[in-house]
């Protein structure tokens, strides 16, 4: 008789030993930008480039002069490789990208040279990344003009920035 009580008692102790189901949850911890609205880009262009030759909502603004071209574009952020590929035709892995910070915005810069239909082209590029958009500035020239346009490019790229709230108010945006 005593043995019959041991079996139910042992079963009672083993009930708590069953495998418990473990649930795992996955949460996306993406940084949501403070402002997902497109910001205004400011860049000081020389007088010969002040008026865009071509302006398109999706393609950006193309400025042409005799020695070089300048393109200003805005693209959705998230894939820097895609942005650089679209802006330059070059794979990001083939470029030396320098990342710095400008105010609260990431700044990526690079230079490149490529053999095109008209000969060797040199270029310089910059992306400002606010988390919601990539603001892209590129400049290209024939290799023969590359040395003469560098001082001008230095000024253009140094002036490339996102407008502050005060600058947006004063320009009416």
**pTM exceeding 0.85:** no
3-state secondary structure of 36: coil
Rounded Cα distance, 62 and 73, in Å: 9
22 CB-near residues (< 8 Å, 6+ apart): none
133 CB-near residues (< 8 Å, 6+ apart): 38, 39, 74, 75, 76, 77
What average pLDDT does the structure give for the chain?
82
Angle at 91 between CA 136 and CA 111, to 5 degrees: 55
Encode pLDDT of 110-166 as tens digits: 999 998 777 899 999 999 999 999 999 999 999 988 889 999 999 999 999 998 776
CB-neighbour burial class of residue 163 (10 A; exposed 0-12, middle 13-18, buried 19+): middle
Which of 151, 150, 173, 153 has its CA nearest to residue 162? 173
Predicted local distance difference test score (pLDDT) of residue 33: 45
Q: Which long-range contacts (CB under 8 A, 24 or more apart) does 117-121 make?
A: 118/142, 119/143, 119/144
Give the homologous superfamily in CATH for domain 62-84+100-171.
Mog1/PsbP, alpha/beta/alpha sandwich (3.40.1000.10)
Rounded Cα distance, 43 and 159, in Å: 5
User: Are residues 101 and 123 in contact, defined by beta-carbon separation less than 8 angstroms?
Assistant: no
């Amino acid at each position: 008789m005593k043995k019959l009580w041991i079996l139910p008692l042992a079963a009672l102790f083993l009930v708590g030993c069953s495998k418990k189901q473990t649930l795992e949850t996955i949460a996306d911890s993406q940084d949501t930008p403070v402002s997902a609205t497109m910001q205004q880009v400011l860049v000081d262009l020389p007088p010969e480039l002040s008026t865009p030759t071509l302006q398109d909502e999706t393609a950006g603004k193309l400025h042409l002069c005799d020695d070089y071209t300048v393109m200003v574009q805005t693209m959705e952020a998230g894939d820097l490789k895609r942005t650089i590929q679209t802006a330059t035709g070059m794979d990001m892995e083939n470029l030396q990208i320098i990342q710095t910070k400008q105010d609260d915005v990431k700044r990526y810069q690079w230079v490149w040279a490529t053999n095109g239909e008209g000969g060797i082209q040199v270029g310089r590029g910059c992306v400002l990344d606010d988390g919601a958009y990539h603001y892209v500035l590129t400049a290209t020239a024939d290799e023969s003009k590359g040395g003469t346009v560098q001082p001008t490019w230095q000024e253009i790229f140094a002036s490339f920035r996102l407008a502050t709230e005060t600058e947006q108010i004063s320009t009416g945006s």
